[in-house]
Amino acid sequence: MTSTTTLHQAVLQAFEQVPDLYLILSPELQILTASDAYLQATGTVREAIVGRGFSEVLDGKAMEVGAIVSLTSSLQQALQTGQTQHLELQQCEKADNSIPNAPVHKYWKVLNSPVTDEQGEVAYIIHRLQQVTEQAYTQRSIVPATTRRSTKKTEIPGCYELDLTTQKIKFSDELSRLFGEERQSFGPSMDFVNRRTHPDDLHVIKAVIERAVDHNTPYQYTRRIQLPDGSLRTLEILGHVVCNDAGQAVKLIGLVHDATDRTKAEQELKQNEELLKTTIDSSLDMIQVFEAVRDENGKIVDFKWILNNHTSEEIYGDVVGKSLLTHNPGVLREGIFDTFRQVVETGIPDQSERHYTYEQFDGWFHQSTVKLHDGVATTTHDITQRKKAEQALQQSKSLLQGILDAPNVGMAVYKAVRDGQGNILDFVHEFINRRTLEALGGHDMTGQLLSDHGEAGSLQIAEFSSVLETGQANSYVIQRELLGLNRWILISNARLDAERLVHVWDDITEQKENEQEVLRLKDEVAQQATDKYHNLFNSMDEGYCIIQLLYDASGTAVDFQYLEVNQAFERNTGLRAVAGKTIRELAPDIEPKWIEIYDQVAKSGIPLRFEEASEALQHIFSLYAFRIGEPEERTVAVIFSDITERKKSQEALRQSEEQFRLFVTASSDMIYKISADWSQLHMLTGRNFLPEPEEPTNYWFDGYIPSEGRAFVTAKVREAIRTKSIFELEHQVYKADGTVGWIASRAIPVLDEQGNIKEWFGTASDITLRKQAEQQLQELNESLEQLVAERTHELNESKLFAEQITEATPDFIMIFNLLSNKVEFVNQNPYSGNQERYQETLQIDYEQLMSRSHPEDRQKLQEFIDRFRTTPDHEAYTLEYRVSDDEKAIWYRSRGKVFRRDDSGKPTHFISVVQDINELKMLEEENLQMRLDQQRTNLLTILDAQEEERRRISEGLHNGVGQILYTAKLHLSHYLSQQPKKDSQANPIRQVEQILDEAIRQTRGLSHQLAPALLEQFGLETAFKEIGNLLSNSSLQMQCLVYNLPKHLDKHLQLVVYRVAQEMANNIIRHAQATEASLLLRAQRQYLILIAEDNGRGFNPAVSLKKGIGLSSIKNRVELLNGTFSLNTAPGLGTQVKITLPL
């Protein structure tokens, strides 16, 4: 045997640099050297083991005795046979320094490879270790003990020696095999190596070798070579330069590893990292990862950015690797740093909303924080807009109350009181503001009738009714007694909705008195002294002026001149020093309407009271204009006041009332107020689904809550009062029609300064339909099969009954004018007194009718109406269509016929009976869904039965037919071994043997396809990829890829996906005539997507789908599982099938 001195030192140095775990042993089993990776993994140093016996070193390790015996026996067999020896998992225990006397189990795969010299003697043994602890634990947890065998061959490195002078190169056996050659029939050369090398690598390798030779240094590079079958293999070379005594490089010695799998894995890892980064960067939320920074005592003193997605970079910039406290010190003041530290130390995730106003961010955000290694990962969602909206809503509420009480005018909201025919009888006070309450002497009229004011109130009922019915606002002045005094009141009324109006009033007594005083003094002005006139003139709060109209040559008024003004004029208009000037001098852009109005007064002599706005003066005025002097003087006196602020307040009130109305309408079915102890209820507004008292009641509890639910509701109320918390409950109530229904009620306590409950404000929504739906769903689950039959029969009867009711007593009767294309008549009953909606329907024309219909139904609705324009007979036509209403679609059935014709017989009108069939459509969809669920159950049952039958056939093929074929082959082989070896290829028996081999192969393959063991043992991903491995051949390259597959999938779903993929792969082989094909399986959100593609001949889907049942069968299975099936193909363009299944 060879001594240790014959192994060149350069070879030993090359082994020491290998990244895997190696020992180099002499034939005497002494350790010649060890790789750096081996020393690091075993916790030893090279000087402590080199030169020592292998068994001696093992005695110092915490290994099982059986493992030491197995290792020694394997080395002896390698020396005796000269063959590589493989060992199963070997276990040792290494102490964990952090926990005294705590063993750590390590598992290894062992490979002992003898290397022979030219005489065939063992020169040295390569002892390689591969740690498989993680795989071992995984395998032991999922694979039975009897099947724990490693089927993957352990890599043996190759080595070479290159003479730089002669360029002759020597290969080891393993290096020859890495090149795909056998050493006995192969003579390596540098020309051979370069021819096999990828062209892009040659110049890089040459530069590395030249640099190593010039500087006498070790070298390392990768080389891609082409194998005899055309595939590429990546080799990693670690080498050393050998020099002569003169220091000249004479030889290169290198160690060669197969790095193909590792390179591929690195590429896949890079792709996965890029995919992960793209996914994270696509998020609109900020995703960040921080690593804890600790001091010498292990205390967390800072965090460091290690990941920042694109959204975060837009706010924080490039901060990866930077200190959190340096870049964002505000996290200390806001408590974010303490939260991060707590999550790291406890492992408990955190969800927080924060208002952060430091550094780069100024707003609100919601942050989720979870522990990640020794740090945290955060997802941050900007909620600033939502918070601002909440604040704006609160400000709007405060603004509404302020607007109502701020102006010194009276305001009130009235609701119409109607009789059974919808006629207005009276109005009830729904709201009064502070000024109105003061005018009533503190008497709150809320809830009382307008006629309770006596004759003055009754006289205004007609005015109020006109506003509601016409939608036109009105304004007028009345005299009435107010707080014992006779006062002049200016009243403005405007409609809020079909049942309510806002009433605004202002006491203009002082203005009226001033006007009357001015009129009384009209005749005295000419007689009394100018001083007295000016004293009165200037004492007025209202502005006063005398103007004279100016005309052009044609007699058209073009301007007016101020003759005289009082002191209040400037205060009300903002114009100064106006006496003697014209309006166009003072305000060149004054509106022409002012000249026209005053010209009319000057010419007619009729006084005019009006309100008008001037954009040029930026004021709104209340004015009284009257002619003075002789008609030909064209002189007009004007008394006016600035009402800009009052008008702004009225507009703000109108807008706030509109916002309040929309809020009430949208938020719930009812809004109510209740006393602190819940003894008195007052309904504020709502849709009247509960019995509504005319005033607050103390007996609401017994009247609204059924007896069986009162104890439960009472307990919840007492608990809410005790804890001063929000009351929230779903419970039964008596509805307005006397039936028992369900409501979802939510009430919030209003607290005084001492924290005591003053009252409660709440909302209630009718959830009767939802509760009924839940009850129906429960009943459906209890007796599905029986209910399907009953509901189908009931549906048919309901449909027939609905059709009879439609023809006998229609809900809507509409007459449509085909000449004007407008609705000419519609009955009022279906509108339940909603006159606004009724009037709106009467105005609908053809275009509006089309625009209200669902986009998918417009064409058939147009055809339905146009059919009546040309129909020669009196046949009735029926159409079911949808109408879009508040972002939802409602189904209607319309049945109509020609109603009237002109003298020539041409249809001019048709009558249509329209019925709401939305509930009927829902029942039909519900019935269809139940049938689909039943069909899906049947499908799964059939699948189970098919798989069981396939498994039985598979076992029969494998254990029956397969064994018979194999026995026949053994007998035939035995027979052939006794026959003379001549004409072996032409011998018919040899041909029979080949046929038996093919039959055994096909039987085994068919058995595996019928009962895929991989699917049951290792899951869908492994079985799916195996489809490509089994079906790929020299003429078809089939690739099967899996991405993001969830760990736990329903077994039926796995089976369906596997069988569908298997069937589509077989279809490609049988029909596509393709050279390349792929199957892709990936999970995306809540769906599983399967895509099959090939570059084959394609086909005409319209023809092929009718002839064959393969794709149709797949499509039916997919649809029964609520999935989708799409096909994209054409002759000569290949085929793509995409299937989407819900998870």
List the 1037-1043 sheet strands across, edge first. 1037-1043, 1076-1084, 1087-1094, 1135-1142, 1124-1129
| Coil/strand/helix, residue 182 | coil
DSSP 354: E
Give the pLDDT score at 554.
92
Residue, of 1104 and 557, whose pLDDT is higher: 557
Tokens of 1000: 């055994």
Residue 744 has pLDDT above 80, yes or no: yes
CATH number of 513-651: 3.30.450.20
More confident residue, 672 or 593: 593
**What residues does 784 pair with on adjacent strands?**
none
pLDDT band at 396 (very low <50, low <70, confident <90, very high): low
Query: Is CATH 3.30.450.20 the right assignment for the domain spanning 668-774?
Result: yes
Residue 637 pLDDT: 93
Question: Which bin fits 883, alpha (ψ -120 to 50), beta or left (φ > 0)?
Answer: beta
CATH architecture of 157-280: 2-Layer Sandwich (3.30)
Collapse the DSSP code of 894 into the 3-class scheme (helix H, G, I; strand E, B; otherwise coil) and give the result. Answer: strand
The single residue listed with the structure tokens 């039916």 is 1116
Domain parsing of the chain, residue ranges = 1-155, 157-280, 283-387, 406-507, 513-651, 668-774, 807-915, 917-1011, 1014-1143
Are residues 735 and 649 in contact, defined by beta-carbon separation less than 8 angstroms? no
Per CATH, which fold does 1-155 belong to?
Beta-Lactamase (3.30.450)
Top-confidence range, 30-44, 286-300, 377-391 = 286-300
**Letter for the amino acid at 63?**
M
Sign of CA dihedral 385, 388, 390, 396: negative
pTM of the full structure: 0.29
**283-387 and 406-507: identical CATH topology:** yes
Q: What pLDDT, in 10s, does the model give residues 41-69?
A: 888 888 888 888 887 787 656 555 456 65
Q: What is the dihedral of CA 672, 678, 680, 681, to 10 degrees?
A: 20
Q: Give residue for tokens 């009789």.
A: 419
In the chain, pLDDT over 90 holds for what percent of residues? 20
Query: Which of 66-80, 225-239, 799-813 bottoms out in mean pLDDT, i.e. has the lowest?
Result: 799-813
Report how far apart, in Å, the C-alpha atoms of 142 and of each of 423, 739, 1014, 1020 are.
Answer: 81, 60, 13, 15
Token pair 């709201």 in the structure block, residue: 431
Q: How far apart are CA 994 and CA 733, in angstroms?
A: 85
Mean pLDDT value of segment 738-764 = 87
Asked if the model's pLDDT at residue 142 lies above 60, the reply is no
Q: DSSP of 251-272, one letter per residue?
A: EEEEEEEE-HHHHHHHHHHHHH
Look at residue 225 in the predicted model and tell me its pLDDT: 93
pLDDT band of residue 529 (cuts 50, 70, 90) is: very low
Task: Give the least confident one: 97-101, 212-216, 315-319.
Answer: 97-101
- The whole-number pLDDT of residue 302 equals 95
Question: What does the buried/exposed string (b/e) look like for 488-497 if buried means 16 or more CB atoms within 10 Å of the residue's CB?
Answer: bbbbbbbbbe
Q: Which residue has the tokens 């990244």?
A: 19
pLDDT category at 798 given cuts 50, 70, 90 is: low
* 401: CB partners within 8 A, 6+ apart: none
pLDDT at 996: 73
User: What is residue 692's predicted lDDT score, i.e. its pLDDT?
Assistant: 62
CB 216 within 8 A of CB 243: yes
CB atoms within 10 A of CB 513: 11
Name the CATH superfamily housing domain 807-915.
PAS domain (3.30.450.20)
Query: What is the CA 38 to chain-centroid distance, rounded?
Result: 50
Pick the CATH number of 1014-1143 from 3.40.350.10, 2.40.30.10, 2.130.10.30, 3.30.565.10: 3.30.565.10
Name which residue leads in pLDDT, 1051 or 647.
647
Lowest mean pLDDT across 117-131, 521-535, 934-948: 521-535
Q: Say what the pLDDT of residue 602 is.
A: 93
Ramachandran area for residue 332 (φ above 0: left; ψ -120 to 50: alpha; else beta) = alpha
The pLDDT of residue 2 is: 39
**CA-closest candidate to residue 913, choices 932, 892, 929, 940:** 892
CB distance 74 to 85 below 8 Å: yes
pLDDT one-digit tens code per residue, 659-715: 666 665 555 677 888 888 888 888 766 656 666 665 666 667 777 888 888 889 999
Q: Which CATH superfamily is domain 283-387 in?
A: PAS domain (3.30.450.20)
Summarize the confidence of residues 92-120 as an average pLDDT. Answer: 63
Query: Position of tokens 């209403």?
Result: 885
Sheet with strand 543-551: strands edge to edge: 557-565, 543-551, 635-642, 619-628, 608-614
Give the burial string for 71-104 (b: 16+ CB within 10 Å, else e). Answer: beebbeebbeeeebbebebbebeeeeeeeeeeee
**CATH 3.40.50.300 correct for 406-507:** no
Strand-pair category, 410-418 with 375-382: unpaired
One-letter amino acid at 927 equals: N
Ordered DSSP codes for 909-935: EEEEEEEE-HHHHHHHHHHHHHHHHHH
Does the pLDDT of residue 30 top 60, yes or no? yes
Task: Assess whether pLDDT exceeds 60 at residue 97.
Answer: no
Least confident of 177-191, 587-601, 982-996, 1073-1087: 982-996
For 864, residues 6+ apart whose C-beta sits below 8 A from its C-beta are 877, 879, 881, 894, 896
Q: What is the pLDDT of residues 870-881, one digit of tens each?
A: 887 778 889 998
Question: Which is more confident, 686 or 250?
Answer: 250
How confident is the model at residue 135, as a pLDDT? 57
Q: List phi, psi (to 5°) of 687.
A: -100, 15
The 10 Å Cβ neighbour count of residue 1012 is 25
Return the minimum-mean-pLDDT range out of 217-221, 424-428, 455-459, 932-936.
932-936
Query: Which range among 213-217, 531-535, 874-878 shows the weakest confidence by mean pLDDT?
Result: 531-535
| Whether residue 807 has pLDDT greater than 50 | no
Q: Give the model confidence (pLDDT) of 810-861 as tens digits.
A: 567 888 888 888 988 887 777 766 778 778 888 888 888 888 888 888 999 8
In which band, very low, low, confident or very high, does the pLDDT at 935 lie, cut at 50, 70 and 90?
Answer: low
pLDDT at 238: 86
Q: Spell out the SS3 assignment of 403-443.
A: HHHCCCCEEEEEEEEECCCCCEEEEEEEEECHHHHHHCCCC
Give me the pLDDT at residue 295, please. 92
Q: Hey, which residues does 625 pair with through a beta bridge? A: 608, 638
φ/ψ of residue 187, rounded to 5:
-115, 105
